[in-house]
Amino acid sequence: MQSRLHIHQFFLVFILLSLSPALHADTSPRLTELISLSEQKTLWLNQEWLNLLHYNKDSGSSSGYVSQVDASRFFNADNGKTDPRAELRATIESFYMVDTNDDSHAQCRFVARLDWLKHMLDGKLTGLPAVNCQQYQEWRSRIPDQQLTMIFPAYHLNSPSSMFGHTLLRLDPSDVESGSDWLSIAVNFGANVQQSDNSIFFAFKGLTGGYPGYFIVTPYFNKIKEYNRDENRDIWEYPLNFTHTEIKKMVDHLWELRDIEFDYYFFDENCSYRLLELLEVARPGIELTDEFKLTAIPVDTVRSIQNANLVTSANYRPSQVTVLEHLIGNIPQAYHDLIIELSENPDLLTTTAFTSIPNNQQRQIVDAAYKLQRYHQTGTPRNETSAKISYQLLEALNTYPATTPAVFSTNDAQPEKGHHSKRALLSIGKSDQTYFADLGFRMSFHSLEDNEQGFLQGAQINLGNIEMRFYENDSAQLQRLDFVDIFSLTPRSQFFDPLSWRVYTGLERQLTKGNDNLVAHVTGGAGFAYQPLQNNQLYILAILRLENNDEFSNLIEPAIGFQTGMLHHFGKHTAHLQFSGEEFSNDESRYRASYTHNFVIAVNHSLKLSAKKEKYEDLEFSEYGLSYQYYFR
Q: How is 352-397 classified by DSSP, letter by letter?
A: HHHHTS-HHHHHHHHHHHHHHHHHHHTTS---HHHHHHHHHHHHHH
- For the residues 490-501, what does the mean pLDDT come to? 93
Q: Per this entry, what is the length of the chain?
A: 633
Residue among 174, 145, 168 at smallest CA distance from 238: 168
- Percent of the chain at pLDDT above 90? 66
Q: Environment class of residue 64 by beta-carbon count within 10 Å: exposed (0-12), middle (13-18) or buried (19+)?
A: middle
Dump strand ranges (E) for 72-226.
147-153, 168-172, 185-191, 211-219
Residue 191 has pLDDT above 60, yes or no: yes
Residue among 466, 470, 474 at smallest CA distance from 425: 466
CB 106 within 8 A of CB 115: no
- Under the banding of pLDDT at 50, 70 and 90, the label for residue 14 is very low
pLDDT for 49: 97
pLDDT for 178: 58
pLDDT for 405: 77
Task: Tell me, rounded to whole angstroms, the distance of Cα 361 from its chain centroid.
Answer: 39
pLDDT for 514: 82
d(CA 172, CA 155): 24
d(CA 459, CA 325): 18
Residue 316 has pLDDT above 80, yes or no: yes
pLDDT digits (tens, 9 = 90+) for 99-151: 778 899 999 999 999 999 999 999 999 999 999 999 999 999 999 999 999 99
Residue 522 has pLDDT above 50, yes or no: yes
Residue 25 has pLDDT above 60, yes or no: no
pLDDT for 20: 45
- For the residues 338-363, what does the mean pLDDT come to? 92
Compute the mean pLDDT over every residue in the chain, rounded to the nearest whole number: 88
pLDDT for 1: 41
- Under the banding of pLDDT at 50, 70 and 90, the label for residue 176 is low
| Cβ neighbours for 497, distance < 8 A, ≥ 6 positions apart | none
d(CA 253, CA 275): 12
d(CA 28, CA 34): 10
One-letter identity of residue 174: S
Residue among 471, 387, 369, 483 at smallest CA distance from 430: 471
pLDDT for 6: 45
pLDDT digits (tens, 9 = 90+) for 384-436: 888 899 999 999 999 998 887 777 766 667 889 999 999 999 999 999 889 99
- For the residues 269-282, what does the mean pLDDT come to? 90
pLDDT for 3: 41
- Under the banding of pLDDT at 50, 70 and 90, the label for residue 193 is low
CB 497 within 8 A of CB 426: no
